[in-house]
Amino acid sequence: MSASTDTRRTTTPAEIAGEASAAAALANPLPEQQARDASGEAIPLDLTAAAFFDVDNTLMMGASIFHFARGLASRKFFETSDLAGFAWQQLKFRALGKESRQGMHDSRDSALSFVAGRSVAEIVELGEEIYDEMMADRIWPGTRALANMHLDAGQRVWLVTATPVELANIIARRLGLTGALGTVAESENGLYTGRLVGEVLHGPAKAHAVRALAAREGLNLRRCTAYSDSVNDVPMLSVVGTAVAVNPDSDLRDVARRRGWEIRDFRTGRKAAKIGVPSVIGAGAVAGAVAAALSYRRRTT
């Protein structure tokens, strides 16, 4: 009698992160805002199509977690010099071309120090304040118009970002969008435990999150659209029927041209040059760098 083969497959951290992100998005839904036409009539919902938007440098100029870190620095969570230091580290990291797998693991590990023991309510309250101070005027009008186009067609619009889901939800709510898929940090009794669920929502994890949400919501992914600026989001862009490169990096621009994807660029050369570090650093790496700075500050105070 031959031995049977065990065909069970181990679930990857990216899959765990994607499933957790979709579950979190639907567990705390934002208020539904049904679009209306010029006459005030409600636009019928298109229940099988949706749009998915990356945030950093796609919807927002720069990295949302970087702006959040600036807000924390202004509140003396850590020194501005620490912020400058990790910004420089990430500039060098991006200059090498891609975010490495080890870099992502380091980001995940250092993120634990950032949230451990802190109140979820505290982070949300700070996120609300910092959005007004640092982010509201950094939304790309062109990308927001694209999001509104989908809303006006009766489709749901979701953000998909490595940014913590609590901050991502604030951005989505302020813009009148459906909700957000973001990195999920574990919490117990209202306090962060210091553990992430899976890993940072980045690269393949974003694709898993979109698939998981589509399965729960009954979406037809062939009728869905995704938008991003980064080649790291090719997995997400590849799971939908329509992919659009927005303010693309050079690698994504090349991929988009080869695959016939639409390219939208709302930058001018002068503006792109002025944006500087926050717009070129990878979001997943920045999340870890913010956390590392906070962790370092705690150890030395």
Burial letters for 174-203: b for 16+ Cβ neighbours within 10 Å, e otherwise? ebebbbbbbbbbebeeebbebebbbbbbbb
Catalytic residues: 54, 56
Beta carbons within 8 Å of 179's beta carbon, 6+ residues apart: 25, 26, 29, 30, 156, 158, 159, 169, 172
What the block records as the tokens of 298 is 């705690």
CA distance 49 to 153: 10
